[in-house]
Amino acid sequence: MQSPHFPAVHLSMLESVELPQVIRVKLTHPSAPAVPDIAAAISGELSKSQRLQILARGARIAVAVGSRGISGIANVARATVDHLKSQGFKPFIVPGMGSHGGGIAEGQVAVLAGLGVTEETMGVPIRATMEVVKYGTSSHGVDALFDKNAAEADAVVVINRVKSHTSFDRPIESGLTKMVAVGLGKGEGAKRVHVLGPEGLRDVLPELAKISIANSPICFGIALVENPQKELVTIEGVEPENFYAADERLLVTAKSLLARLPFAQIDALVCELLGKNISGAGMDFAVTGRTDIRGIDNPPKPLIHRIGILGVTPESKGNANGIGMADFAPMDFVNAIDLHSIYFNGVTAAIVEKGRIPLVLPHDLDVFRASVSTAWVADPTQARLCMIRSTAQLNEILVSSSLFADIDGRQDVEQLSDPEPIIFSDQGKLMTRC
């Protein structure tokens, strides 16, 4: 990895800052029951495919798997290839993740391995390439590109989660349509969509997907929806011509199940982890309240004055894209990030703000101190402080007493502890965890 080297910048004014005590709180979010048998559900949906039913035995089928931290993605992928093999087909896996993994084939294989998807666990080959074929050009002059290995297969099955995007609302966001246009468009395809900004994601992406669907061997899709507990609640097989409609319909369901912080305003939010497996932008903007894209309004709430971020998930392989949405970060975290992955991601997406480096402080303790002491609160011990594990893990959070007052007595809130001090090691490392 290409990592920076920030020095320990000690600020004397932070040494005397006292932190609020925090209360552990359990939040109840909208939910739905998990699919009881993933393998059976996958097999049942694949059996409905009209195109698979007429495909000759021995046909080579590319199964597109992305880089997101989808619940049980290894189980979903394995169930898919097992069913295809049981029908006499010869499946193989292709990474459908645009420019992720540093924009190189080896990096994308490594990302899949981090999700538990390897040739050993899947029992089929993984064929990764950044080479693409061109299927046509959109009305905006953007080429429709498609993974070369997938294009040369007899059929392609696309697997993706339907969920809200990380930057702004639109009729379809992350799902099967995006996997076709961006994920299977590889690095160059992703760049050509994102370079147009919101217009590219809103208008160009669906048109590119339509072109690729019409010209590629895509034969079926598996659409997934999760609940706030990161369990799969929907596994739906979709014919290619219905990808857009299914994405639009299932997005409504997905958004209805999103976990959210129950606050309109927070002085300081400290997030333990960001990551590409959590959100495309590292942190979900609907939780942080920060889109920070020119021309796109931030959500009206929550309004969060200061944000500190403490680390990146192992699955992200150092890609801390989204760190730019924070105000403060500790030195050990920033000195371990992969600048190449972050820069590549930002330039490809044409959204560079999320790759900027915030103020780098010596340790976690100073991140907390700086967050509460710069939040325009006269007494930092009275700051409305919230701690979360990540923007995708909001079942248990830690809040200061002043913030807890906003939710005390609500039916969807359970107080798990009395106010307690936040504990740090002698080296300033956070010991109190969500």
Domain ranges of the chain: 12-29+259-415, 38-256
**CA 365/CA 368 separation, integer angstroms:** 5
CA distance 124 to 78: 9
Which among 46, 57, 36 is positioned nearest to 80, based on CA atoms?
Answer: 46
| DSSP, residue by residue, 146-158 | EEHHHHTSSEEEE
Cα 270 to Cα 160, 266, 288, 397: the distances in Å are 30, 11, 10, 10
**Distance, CA of 130 to CA of 148 (rounded, Å):** 8
- The number of beta carbons lying within 10 Å of the beta carbon of residue 146 is 27
Run of H or E including 82: helix 73-86
Integer angstrom CA distances of residue 225 from 72, 79, 161: 12, 17, 6
- Return the higher-pLDDT residue of 132 and 165: 132
**Whole-angstrom distance, CA of residue 147 vs CA of residue 189:** 9
Look at phi and psi of residue 112 and say left if phi exceeds 0, alpha if psi is from -120 to 50, else beta: alpha
What's the topology of domain 38-256? Rossmann fold (3.40.50)
CA–CA dist 102, 347 (Å, integer):
12
* pLDDT attached to residue 198: 63
| H or E element at residue 363 | none
> What is the average per-residue pLDDT within 57-82?
93
Quick one: tokens of 275? 């990551």
Please write the tens of the pLDDT for every residue from 92-103.
999 998 887 878
Cβ contacts of 242 within 8 Å, gap of 6 or more: none
Asked if the model's pLDDT at residue 54 lies above 90, the reply is yes
Tokens of 294: 């020119």
Residues 327 and 306: their CA atoms lie apart, in Å, by 6
Cα distance between residue 330 and residue 86, in whole Å: 51
User: What pLDDT is recorded for position 385?
Assistant: 98
What's the pLDDT score for residue 72? 87
Terminal Cα-to-Cα distance of the chain (whole angstroms): 29
pLDDT band at 139 (very low <50, low <70, confident <90, very high): confident
pLDDT digits (tens, 9 = 90+) for 322-342: 999 999 999 999 999 999 989
What is the rounded CA–CA span in Å between residue 115 and residue 106? 15
**Locate tokens 């989660």: which residue?**
161
H helical segments located in 183-314 = 186-194, 198-199, 205-215, 243-256, 285-288
Question: Residue 314 is encoded by which pair of tokens?
Answer: 């192992």
Instruction: Give 414's strand partners.
Output: 26
Q: What is the pLDDT of residues 181-240, one digit of tens each?
A: 989 999 887 777 766 666 656 678 888 999 999 999 999 999 999 988 889 999 999 999
Tokens of 83: 């069913």
Q: What distances in angstroms separate CA 408 from CA 176, 262, 263, 417, one per listed residue?
A: 40, 11, 12, 13
Peptide bond into 91 cis (omega under 30): no
Per-residue tokens: 342:
């972050």
* Tens-digit pLDDT profile for residues 334-385: 999 999 989 988 888 778 889 999 999 999 999 999 999 999 999 999 999 9
Q: Which whole number is the average pLDDT over 243-269?
A: 93
- Average pLDDT of the chain is 92
Sequence-distant (≥ 6) Cβ neighbours of residue 29 within 8 angstroms: 228, 257, 258, 259, 260, 394, 395, 412
The predicted structure's pLDDT at residue 426: 97
Give the C-alpha separation, 128 to 147, whole Å.
Answer: 9
Asked if 284 and 392 touch (Cβ cutoff 8 Å), the reply is yes
Residue 78: partners with Cβ closer than 8 Å, 6 or more residues away? 39, 121, 122, 123
The secondary structure element, H or E, covering residue 91 is: strand 90-95
Q: Strand order of the sheet with strand 328-330? A: 359-361, 328-330, 303-309, 265-271, 385-388, 396-400, 22-27, 413-415
Cα–Cα distance, 188 to 90 (Å, whole number): 28
